[in-house]
Amino acid sequence: MTPPSTSQAITALAPETLRTWIHQHQDLMVIDVRSAAEFEAMHIRGSYNVPLPLLSEHTDELATRLGSRVVLVCQSGARAEQARQRLGKAGMEGAYVLTGGAPGFAAVGGDVVRGKNRWDLERQVRLTAGSLVVLGLAGGKLISPKVRLLAGAIGAGLTFSAATNTCAMGKALSAMPWNKAAKEPTRESAILQLPLVSPGGAAA
């Protein structure tokens, strides 16, 4: 099985297909763009953790180290799609985004490594945003109508997040102590340690 032509603009990959590819293609590289803490909690066996902020900072360098068969993974697909777009701008076409993320792969019986159980970042964002909206509405009734502006600000922020496919709240939460792994990836440990890809496409 060979990847579809990039002219078809097919970028989504079903978890069942990834299971097959893992056993069939030695040149396959799975890049997990979630935070290190999320990666520690559960990840696809054999995948590499390059968190989205790190990938964004070193996109050009990373693109030169990846082969032609790359699958990007996150929790739901949103961050992986951001990574795909960034890599595309750096000249790397044809990367795939895993449908359903790492949980979707686990759900179809894919081989995953599990560690300390943590809430994923996207769940934390939903909890934080929802709590702030409730706080703003309650504060507007009990303290001052001006407090309701908090709920409006959160709504505006979520709208901007959807329109730009970014998440400032997620970025802020990822810096919190409980979202830090024992060993955070760096350029040296995450990018420079990726196996070099030979001209033929196989990892060296």
Same domain, 159 and 111: no
Structure tokens at 196: 């070099």
Same domain, 150 and 66: no
pLDDT value of residue 166: 66
Do the domain assignments include residue 136? yes
pLDDT value of residue 4: 45
Do the domain assignments include residue 174? no
Same domain, 96 and 63: yes
Same domain, 50 and 95: yes
Same domain, 72 and 148: no
Same domain, 64 and 153: no
Chain Cα centroid distance, residue 178: 18
Q: What is the 3-state secondary structure (H, E, C) of the chain?
A: CCCCCHHHCCCEECHHHHHHHHHHCCCCEEEECCCHHHHHHEEECCCEECCHHHHHHCHHHHHHHCCCCEEEECCCCHHHHHHHHHHHHCCCCCCEEECCHHHHHHHCCCCEEECCCCCCHHHHHHHHHHHHHHHHHHHHHHCCHHHHHHHHHHHHHHHHHHHHCCCHHHHHHHCCHHHCCCCCCCHHHHHCCCCCECCCCCEC
Do the domain assignments include residue 173? no
pLDDT value of residue 184: 84
Q: Phi/psi at 12 (nearest 5 deg)?
A: -90, 140
Same domain, 86 and 129: no
Predicted TM-score (pTM) of the model is 0.68
Do the domain assignments include residue 109? yes
Q: Domains in the chain: how many in total?
A: 2
Which residue range(s) make up the domain with 54? Answer: 6-118+181-191
pLDDT value of residue 7: 36
Q: List per-residue pLDDT tens for the chain, 204 residues long.
A: 444 443 345 689 999 999 999 999 988 999 999 999 899 999 999 999 999 999 999 999 999 999 889 999 999 999 999 999 999 999 998 899 999 999 999 999 999 999 877 677 777 787 888 888 887 788 777 887 777 777 778 778 777 766 665 677 776 777 777 776 657 899 999 998 898 765 455 555
